[in-house]
Structure 1
Amino acid sequence: MTAEAMSSRVQTQIPTPVQKDYYYFFRSFVAGGVAGCCAKVTIAPLDRVKILLQAQNPHYNHLGVFATLKAVPKKEGFLGLYKGNGAMMIRIFPYGAIQFMAFDSYKKFLSTQLGISGHIHRLMAGSMAGMTAVIFTYPLDVIRARLAFQVTGEHRYTGIRNAFQTIYLKEGGISGFYHGLTPTIIGMAPYAGFSFFTFGTLKTLGLTHFPELLGKPSLDNADVLVLKTHVNLLCGGVAGAIAQTISYPLDVARRRMQLGTSLPDYDKCLSLKKTLKHVYTKYGIKNGLYRGLSLNYIRCIPSQAVAFTTYEFMKQILHLN
């Protein structure tokens, strides 16, 4: 083989910049998906209780958070705490994957193309990433909410496939899968934005001012500092708590709109404005707009802690640093 032929062969084996970008995005996609699944499995029982309380399920409406956690296994068995979790896993992998991948992409775009940097580009990138992930995976979120709201012995849907068919045939086709999309997008913007913003800011401050105390070399790049695992968990938990406090009423409205005809008063929850007004008028702020918030703190803190920590770990495993 001539030197010219060998040179040509080597050049064809070197990944082009476009191929490198696709490979990077694929690894980022996988890292985000794994992070999302790990986070949701951790708090699946709390998610089920949250839906039951937010939507005032008649079987558990008189109970509090911890009483409901005890009552569900007694009435529906231990697996009742994981009802709807199959649909959640089908949804959460692409959701987490798209969200984390989109965040990195938006952050890079805002910084390089628009010249927006500092703390503000984290907030903007996080908001856009959250909305992007919601739009792509929303129908699965609706299915999961419907299945989780069911109580054993009173099933309207026999499973994920049946729920898809029933909603499509009886609730206006494709549009039936997008009930509550408006409050979800409106709520996701501040939630995802402040979540990524808070975590990124805490991470930057920690590694800048206390690198030896809070940081350690990355597994895939010794020149890059990453937060220690317990610090990652703490920063992720704080980020989740702040984000949830800001966006919670919109989350309540979203769940009620998603459940649609599963609720007796669904005709009063056809729009964001009507839903918020109805919940506030009938149940008030504490028992309506912020019902289940204590549970949400319990679930969102470990969820976000695990999500960010797993993603940071997967970035090292998949050589994203």
Structure 2
Amino acid sequence: MALPSPASTSRSRRSPLKSLISGGLAGMLAKTIVAPLDRIKIMYQVTSLPFSLSSLPSTITRIVQTEGPLALWKGNMVMMFRVFPYAGVQFMVFDYLKLVLKPLTPQKTLLAGSTAGAVSSICTYPLDLARARLAVVKGKSSAGDFRVMIQKLASGGYSQLYRGITPTLVGMVPYAGLAFSTNEMLRGVCRKMNEDGEITTWQKLQCGGVSGLIAQSAVYPMDVTRRRMQTDGLVDGLKGELKGVDEGFKKGVRKTVLQTMKTVYEEQGIRGLYKGLTLNWFKGPIAFSISFTTFDFIKMRLDEFEASREARGMERIDELEELGGGETDETIVAHTPPARMVTKRKSSRKTRRKDEKKEEL
């Protein structure tokens, strides 16, 4: 069995970092674009106010009039501290598991996506919890408010920092699994349809949109449940009145997942568990298509940059060798990319041994 070349080994070693960076930047872009819709969705999820797409313009107008235009992106800047590691870890884990689980099957792809979603959620959950609470509190938010919110949550111990993690994982595991596996399956279909076996940017956007639509529709009730648990004590569900942070932390009885779902059902019926879903049908496909496509674009650019860098390094090595055999190992190493360093050092030593044997003869 042929061993992998040093260059390919180096690239595979560095690929997790490229996946982390590409996924993080892709997530930041997607979240920023849909942030206004995300904030409105959370506001309706945690109250008993009825929602319909026709009410969306009036809701946006009310927020702009009372809090200003930038309030539509309230908490988005500090949210980026959570989005980058969340999306980055998710894509990194998924790419890694795809390599480990080869040859891939639909079941293995589903497992890889589910695991990636669970790991990223656990790693960044306290930041998501703080962001959800800031989203339903009136007034401007800043990095200082975000820090204070984290401190308040941390003062209650790990149970406070991870309040709502159960419905998050129950929803995220199938959600991420369906999203990633559906996206991979649709891309495979598109490649078979195309004569060159490649997938176009437009097809990538379509695959991401459809996969996001399917995944979010399947687990939406758990998303409503986790938001209600995250903002427990900050809002009055029946009245829909937004309360201040300090008052909210002093009130409210902590409920389990089933108790929270029961409360939502008693307040609003089965429709309460799906409130805002129509908005998600609009927001989700946009976010997913942008995220998946941007991830591919950034990672391809990083791959091209790495390849050109290695090519320049190899040209420099050839130039040094042509200048004369007097170059030392240290000189060659200084101009050699890590992927070829070991190979060139061994080659240089073999050449020196041959020269020494010739002199002895």
TM-score, normalised relative to structure 2: 0.73
Amino acid at match of 1:84: G
Task: Give how far 1:267 is off.
Answer: 4.4
Specify the SS of the correspondent of 1:318: helix
Task: Give how far 1:15 is off.
Answer: 6.6
1:261 aligns with 2:252: no
Distance 1:57 1:81, change over 3 A: farther
Select 2:85's aligned residue among 87, 94, 105. 94
Paired residue total: 286
Q: What's the CA shift string for 1:130-175, capped at 9, x where partnerless?
A: 111000000000111111111128x8x9611111122223xx2232
Task: Give how far 1:64 is off.
Answer: 3.2
The equivalences for 1:157-236 within 5 A come to 159-169=145-155, 172-212=156-196, 225=198, 227-236=199-208
Amino acid at match of 2:267: K
| Contact in 1 for aligned 2:51/2:276 (Cα 8 Å) | no
| Contact in 2 for aligned 1:65/1:292 (Cα 8 Å) | no
Name whichever of 27-36 and 268-277 sits farther off: 268-277
Amino acid at match of 1:99: Q
Select 2:289's aligned residue among 280, 305, 309. 305
Select 1:282's aligned residue among 248, 261, 267. 267
- Find the counterpart in structure 2 of residue 6 from structure 1: none
1:130 aligns with 2:121: no
Q: What's the CA shift string for 1:217-271, capped at 9, x where partnerless?
A: xxxxxxxx3x211111111111110001001000000111111321346746621
Amino acid at match of 1:74: Q
Which structure 1 residue ranges, 5 or more long, are not aligned?
Answer: 1-13, 216-224
* Structural RMSD (CA): 2.6
Task: Give how far 1:211 is off.
Answer: 3.6
Structure 2 distance, partners of 1:158, 1:311, is 30
Q: What's the CA shift string for 1:66-99, capped at 9, x where partnerless?
A: 3212221111110110111123211000011000
Structure 2 distance, partners of 1:16, 1:47, is 41
The equivalences for 1:69-108 within 5 A come to 69-108=60-99
Structure 2 distance, partners of 1:234, 1:159, is 38
Structure 1 distance, partners of 2:13, 2:166, is 31
Which structure 2 residue ranges, 5 or more long, are not aligned?
Answer: 1-5, 238-250, 308-361
- Find the counterpart in structure 2 of residue 271 from structure 1: 256
Select 1:318's aligned residue among 270, 285, 302. 302
The equivalences for 1:16-165 within 5 A come to 17=9, 20-56=11-47, 64-111=55-102, 117-152=104-139, 159-165=145-151
Task: Give how far 1:61 is off.
Answer: 7.7
Select 1:245's aligned residue among 217, 236, 239. 217
TM-score, normalised relative to structure 1: 0.82
Structure 2 distance, partners of 1:43, 1:57, is 23
Structure 2 distance, partners of 1:315, 1:144, is 28
Of all paired residues, the percent bearing the same amino acid is 39
Structure 1 distance, partners of 2:150, 2:123, is 16
Structure 1 distance, partners of 2:157, 2:121, is 19
Distance 1:303 1:16, change over 3 A: closer
| Contact in 2 for aligned 1:72/1:80 (Cα 8 Å) | yes
Q: Which has the larger radius of gyration?
A: 2
